[in-house]
Structure formats: structure tokens, C-alpha cells
Amino acid sequence: MIYLDNAATTKPFKAAVDRAYEFINEKYYNPSAMYKEGFALQSELKKARSALLLPIADQNAFELVFTSCGTESDNQAIFSFARRGNIITTEGEHSAVLAPFAELKTRGTAQVRYAPLEKDGRVNVEKLLESVDEKTCFVSVMHVNNEMGAINDVNDIAKRVKQKNPRVIFHSDGVQAYGKILFKLGKEVDLYSISAHKIGGLKGVGALIKRKTLTLPPYIYGGGQETGKRSGTENTFGIMQFAYAAEEKFSRLAEKNEQIKGYREKLWQALNKTVYTRLSDVAGSPYILTISAVGLRGAILQQMANDQGLLVGTGSACSSNSKRRFSAVVLACGYDEKTADGMLRVSFSDDTTEEEIDRAASILNAIGEDLKRRMK
Ligand code: PLP
């Protein structure tokens, strides 16, 4: 089986799982326990926080709150700070951001504004800035788009947003960026969401990185863990494994970026251009290639690929009542419904091999040509 749906989730790093195993087997104590085993765990968690923060943030300026996933981190950021006036996000966001924004609109908490996208999936920065005014309290712009791989320059966007209104709280969903592209958090970004299972960590662990000077109102109340910012007994095994996986990813990030980019381009070169059109840009994340078999159904191609042992993602899917849906992100980039319907997302991991790329290209070509013939 060839797994090229790594933007959905990645295989956990075995070495990181093995290293963290002692937190199941031996150090299974409650980190809040008031005896030395509990204190020792608190200090292990502190080390994990540093290991996760260090590669992307100045530890004097930023701290990290553990959560259960990227979705929770996004929700915590939004429900904690998007409280009045108007709040702004982009048409390209993941549902972990779009759904809380929609909920705040329904509640009448704040006026909601959406900035449009460029053809490659980046936000249209000028339009975003036009919508910022003196009543804007919160802006959320994703770092790497999960469907198009487009990279937003969130440091620059945050800076420009704050030049217009310095009171804005700026959040970025960094779930597809953390550990996958080289980046340092700028001082104008207030909040940044990350998730373990996208980088060889386990499902069920995430974090919200926050500027230290910002007071984060809790989203989950209870026993006061995470200095009261996020209650609930910490998932010590998952957190330690996340930290080890991040160490692994960041230690070879630049080298892997080059290699994976090479594979992405090799795959695109090998694809039959009479079947596939490229949607994602060369400048986007090396880990994502978004293509469309315009006029064909991506969901059918996904099933055909599955039958051949190739797993890829798709932006178009059928809802339970069989109504056709298209990738809202691809449509927001200005593509038509046929292009959105034919979309496939091929996403790589550090373990992807050249042989897998060759094999994936021949499977995608064979099924695309076959379906096209049958559609005539
Ligand atoms: N944000 C983006 C951009 C994502 O791609 C995802 C996962 O697909 C999430 C948020 C949600 O993360 P999690 O699965 O950890 O809740």
C-alpha cells in the first residue's frame, strides 16, 4: 500500500513511540500528584514544552498550552478572544476555524468577515486588510492551506493588520505548517495552533502557542492544569511522543524539504497532462500536490486508486444524502465546479520514497486515462 494522504494524518514515528513508552509503562503517574513522581513528570512536561517551542519561537516571548488536538487549539483561540465588534478570517480555513466563526455569527457575538483567496490558495492580503477597522477584535489566517498547500506569510500579515489596528488579536492555524516548513513566529502573531498527528505524533494531542503577555481565558474549566488555561489531566505519553516526533522532524527539516519538493515535482512531471491539471503552486508546501482531473470525479478516482493500493485525499465528497459537494477552498480560489469536483490531494511524508512516487504516478495515469475513456 502506498500512503499519500499525509495531510490527513501521518504514521506515528516508531522511534518516538518507543522513546515515550516509559510514560505508559513506568511513569504513568498523574503529573498533578503532590509526590516526587508527580513533580518529576511536571518537569518532563516542561522539557517537552521547550522542545516543541524552541524550533519556532522565542521562549522569552511565547509559551505553550497543551490541548487534545488542532481543532481544540483553534476553538480555544477563537472562543477565548473573538468576543465583540467584528472578527475576520479567510475563505480557505479548515472547518476547525470556519465552524467556530459560524457559531459566533449565529450567537450574534460578533460580525463575521471572510477574506477571499488568490488562485493559488493564499489569502488576498489587500482585501483582508481592507476589512480590518477600529472595531476588529480578532483575525485568524491559516499558515499552510490544507487543501492547496499555499503558504500565507502570517508574520507579515499580522504586522500589517496591527498597523491598521494594534488592538487586534492575531491567530494562525499552523497545523499543516509546524514541522513541515522553516518558520519563526514573529512578534505580531499572538496565537498559533499545532497538532501532533500531522508530524509523526499521535492523534489526541495538540497545543496552542501563545504570546506570554496575552491573558488566555480558559475554554475548558476544571482542575486548573496548564496553569488554569486548559484543565484536564495531561496526556503525558502523547505529549512526550509529540515532543520527540517534533525533535525528529525539525532536526532534518531543510534537507527533507528539498527532497520532498523534488518528489512532488517528479510526480507532477510524470502525470498525464491531458488528464490532470495542477492547482497547487510550486511555491507552496513541499508536502502537498493538489491536482484536478477536470471533468472527472475526484471521489471516483480516489476509490479506483484505493483499489490499486494507493491512498490519496480528495476535496470533493458525497454527503450522506448523496448531494454533490465540492471543495469550497478550490471554488474560493476561483476554479469552476468541474475543477473542484475532479480535485485530488496527494500529500507526502518524510518516509515517502522515490519508488512510491513512480508507482503512484503510473496508478494515477492508468486510472485517470481509464475513467476518461469510459466517460466518453
Ligand atoms: N487545521 C488544519 C489546517 C488541518 O489540516 C487540520 C486537520 O486536518 C486541523 C486544523 C485539525 O487538526 P486535528 O485533526 O488535530 O483536530
pLDDT tens digits in sequence order for the chain, 376 residues long: 999 999 999 999 999 999 999 999 999 999 999 999 999 999 999 999 999 999 999 999 999 999 999 999 999 999 999 989 999 999 999 999 999 999 999 999 899 999 999 999 999 999 999 999 999 999 999 999 999 999 999 999 999 999 999 999 999 999 999 999 999 999 999 999 999 999 999 999 999 999 999 999 998 999 999 999 999 999 999 999 999 999 999 999 999 999 999 999 999 999 999 999 999 999 999 999 999 999 999 999 999 999 999 999 996 344 334 455 689 999 999 999 999 999 999 999 999 999 999 999 999 999 999 999 998 7
User: Is 318 noted as a catalytic residue in this protein?
Assistant: yes
| Beta strands in 76-159, from DSSP E residues, in sequence order | 86-90, 111-115, 136-140
Question: How far, in Å, is the centroid of ligand 1 from the Cα of 151?
Answer: 15
| Beta strands in the chain, from DSSP E residues, in sequence order | 2-3, 62-67, 86-90, 111-115, 136-140, 169-173, 191-195, 206-211, 277-278, 288-292, 310-311, 317-318, 324-325, 343-347
- The atom number, within ligand 1, closest to the CA of 69 reads 15
Tell me if 72 sits within 8 A of 196, measured CB to CB: no
206 C-beta closer than 6 A to ligand 1: yes
User: Which residues belong to CATH 3.90.1150.10 in the chain?
Assistant: 2-10+253-375
176 C-beta closer than 6 A to ligand 1: yes
Question: How far, in Å, is the centroid of ligand 1 from the Cα of 193?
Answer: 9
Angle, helices 236-251 vs 36-53, to 10°: value is 30
Fold designation for 2-10+253-375? Aspartate Aminotransferase, domain 1 (3.90.1150)
Residue 354 parent element (H or E):
helix 354-375
User: Which residues belong to CATH 3.40.640.10 in the chain?
Assistant: 14-250
341 C-beta closer than 6 A to ligand 1: no
* CATH, domain range 14-250: 3.40.640.10
Quick: pLDDT tens for 192-248: 999 999 999 999 999 999 999 999 999 899 999 999 999 999 999 999 999 999 999
Tell me if 345 sits within 8 A of 313, measured CB to CB: yes
Question: How far, in Å, is the centroid of ligand 1 from the Cα of 160?
Answer: 26
Tell me if 97 sits within 8 A of 143, measured CB to CB: no
